[in-house]
A and B are shown apart, each in its own frame.
Chain A
Amino acid sequence: MSGLRILVPVKRVVDYTLKPRINKTQTAVDVSGLKHSMNPFDELSIEEAVRLRERKVPVDDILAFSAGPAKSQDVLRTAMAMGADRALHVVEEKEELEPLGVAKLLAQVVKDEDRNLVILGKQSIDDDAGQTGQMLAGLLGWAQATQASKVEVNGEEITVTKEVDGGVETVKAKLPMVVTTDLRLNEPRYASLPNIMKAKKKPLVKKALEDYGIDLKRRLKTVKVTEPPVRKGGAKVEDVDGLIGKLKELGAL
């Protein structure tokens, strides 16, 4: 049996600790000058791929992928420092791709690179769409397991425990498969300095959208981006009696 040929798509997003601003013309979120990092769920994907190898599951190679501006290379280097073997970067500066477009691109990469397992984050924390993995599985006609909290590989068979409303559900499928990661899956490692240095020597291939010849025109038009209604905190109370009194006054008790 040949081993796993894993594809891990990663996205560069505004760091999860930061609160982005809306631009003055209300046309977009202004992220200029803000620290960016790898989407937290994608860190879990890389970590899981690397752990599969460490658990002696036969892994042929781990390919990290990102589509986006030149700076996305930083997150690909991070992925390689965490243990990915090589990286593929589809450089696109002008427009942010939609999940459907990314899924189409990934479907082509899966074919070009002969992948049999794709591990993605369950959602990116900027767009919060949570679609790409499922779309990819649909386009490829593969099995999918979303919001994984446990992944077990046994030969050609993969058993995944998924987070669902109110608990967990376990499904199994034969390769090839698409898995999306949930927070409980693992705790991503920090890239050590020696590994960061080594990652600089790992291969990173750059391509352009045109190389794929896929129609990636956006389907959704942004009408406007606005601030959420501001919620003003009320006064503080002195003690528990004050708290109860206030809640009664507000009709909450």
Chain B
Amino acid sequence: MFSIARHTALRQARSSILKASRPPFSQSSLARLLSTLAILEQRDGKLNPSSLAAVTAGTQLGGSVTGILAGKNAKAVAEEAAKVEGIEKILYIENEAYDKGLPEHYAPLLVENIKKGGFTHIFAGHSAFGKTLMPRVAALLDVQQISDITSIENETTFVRPIYAGNAILTVESTDPIKIVTLRGTSFPPSPIGSGTATLEQGTDPSAPAQAEWVSESLAQSDRPELSTAERVVSGGRGLKSKEEFDRIIPPLADAIGAAIGASRAAVDSGFADNSLQVGQTGKNVAPQLYLCAGISGAIQHLAGMKDSKVIAAINKNAEAPIFEVADVGLVADLFDAVPELTEKLKK
């Protein structure tokens, strides 16, 4: 018992030491030559705070950090983003055409502004927006992008997981411009505080878009957002049906104010929406508590949650691989254990 607690505490301590002792690149003489363009996201005139991970990465690197925002009310959003700590300047492009973030429009916009600004590093979140946009930008600039990094070694060297997180690759870029997407759980958003960035109008090439936005349908939820939640309650195939998933998982999540996640098996079987999928091909989460029930722990699932601070698992199969990573394991029928847990936590 004791050793487990110690182990977890050690791990936490170690990771915080690592973060604190990360070399400040700004001390390097190169820092003066480094300049980051941080791709900021907005939706319906609101800044997406998770995109501020790009600012965090820029400040870790050292050198100047410029943000870029485009859309109908880009200037208003830029004024909000100007308070973000670490940004020196924000380029805004007011044009409704960029509201939906279509890559056919947006990539030429970024290319123009990158060329004009002479940036050495382009950082964007590895979000749906970043994933669809940045490789297109990279190709237009003839750069090999580095995807989904978890840390920055120095101005040319970056660390990223490969093989569903089963290997950690440290890679050095020889490209003159570094185009990098960031794993959100590894780069906490730079806080909105007392920043005083200057605003400047960016260049708008008004490239024609070949594609047209038709509609969207986003899952409405009062619960915390999965990828940034402090706590996540996740269900798998063991829930047996959508009805049982909906009956058992949400009350537990609500009892501890957690977001809901699911394994691919649960998503494929239609128990839960695809947007809740945690794993290599879904979302990466690293909450304080990841509490899962009826999930066996396939490597693709572990890829998305094994950086959680504390993992707790309920599974009736004592041999399930999830127990190899769980800090706390309970071998029990989830249909008994989860409702009991929910009741006791409500008190």
The interface of chain A, by Cβ under 8 A from chain B, is 14, 16-17, 19-20, 22, 29, 98-100, 103, 122-123, 125-139, 141-147, 149, 159, 162-174, 177, 182-184, 218-229, 231-244, 246-247, 249-253
CB neighbours (8 Å) of B139 from chain A are 100, 103, 134-136, 138-139
The interface of chain B, by Cβ under 8 A from chain A, is 1, 4-5, 7-8, 11, 100, 102-104, 107, 127-129, 131-140, 142-148, 153, 157, 160-175, 209-219, 225, 227, 231, 256, 264, 267-268, 274-275, 280-281, 288-289, 298-300, 306, 309-312, 314, 318, 323-332, 337, 340-341, 344-345
Q: Are B143 and A219 in contact (CB under 8 A)?
A: yes
Q: Are B327 and A233 in contact (CB under 8 A)?
A: yes
Q: Are A168 and B217 in contact (CB under 8 A)?
A: yes
C-alpha gap A223/B341 in the complex (Å): 47
B31 shortest CB reach to chain A, Å? 21
Q: Are B306 and A231 in contact (CB under 8 A)?
A: yes
Q: Are B147 and A171 in contact (CB under 8 A)?
A: no
Q: Which of A231, A232, A234 contacts B328 (CB 8 A)?
A: A234
A137 shortest CB reach to chain B, Å? 6
- At the interface, is chain A mostly helix, strand, loop or mixed? mixed
Q: A100-B143, A233-B327 are in contact. Are A172 and B217 (CB under 8 A)?
A: no
C-alpha gap A147/B213 in the complex (Å): 15
Q: Are B212 and A173 in contact (CB under 8 A)?
A: yes
C-alpha gap A113/B120 in the complex (Å): 37
Q: Are B131 and A223 in contact (CB under 8 A)?
A: no
Q: Which of A17, A29, A166, A240 contacts B162 (CB 8 A)?
A: A29
Extra contacts, 12 of them, besides A165-B129, A167-B217 (Cβ < 8 A), are A100-B138, A131-B147, A135-B139, A167-B216, A169-B213, A173-B212, A184-B267, A219-B174, A222-B170, A222-B172, A232-B7, A237-B330
Q: A167-B275, A183-B264, A240-B341 are in contact. Are A125 and B147 (CB under 8 A)?
A: no
A-B contact count (CB 8 A): 275
CB neighbours (8 Å) of A172 from chain B are 211-212, 214
C-alpha gap A228/B303 in the complex (Å): 10
Q: Are B210 and A252 in contact (CB under 8 A)?
A: no
A45 shortest CB reach to chain B, Å? 14
Q: Are B136 and A135 in contact (CB under 8 A)?
A: yes
Q: Are B329 and A222 in contact (CB under 8 A)?
A: no
Which B residue sits closest to A166, measured CB to CB?
B218
Q: Are B167 and A225 in contact (CB under 8 A)?
A: yes
CB neighbours (8 Å) of B132 from chain A are 134, 144, 146-147, 162
CB neighbours (8 Å) of A234 from chain B are 4, 7-8, 326-329
Q: Are A147 and B329 in contact (CB under 8 A)?
A: no
B108 shortest CB reach to chain A, Å? 9
**14 A-B interface contacts by CB (under 8 A):** A19-B163, A128-B280, A131-B135, A162-B132, A164-B129, A166-B275, A167-B216, A172-B212, A173-B211, A225-B170, A227-B167, A231-B306, A252-B310, A253-B289
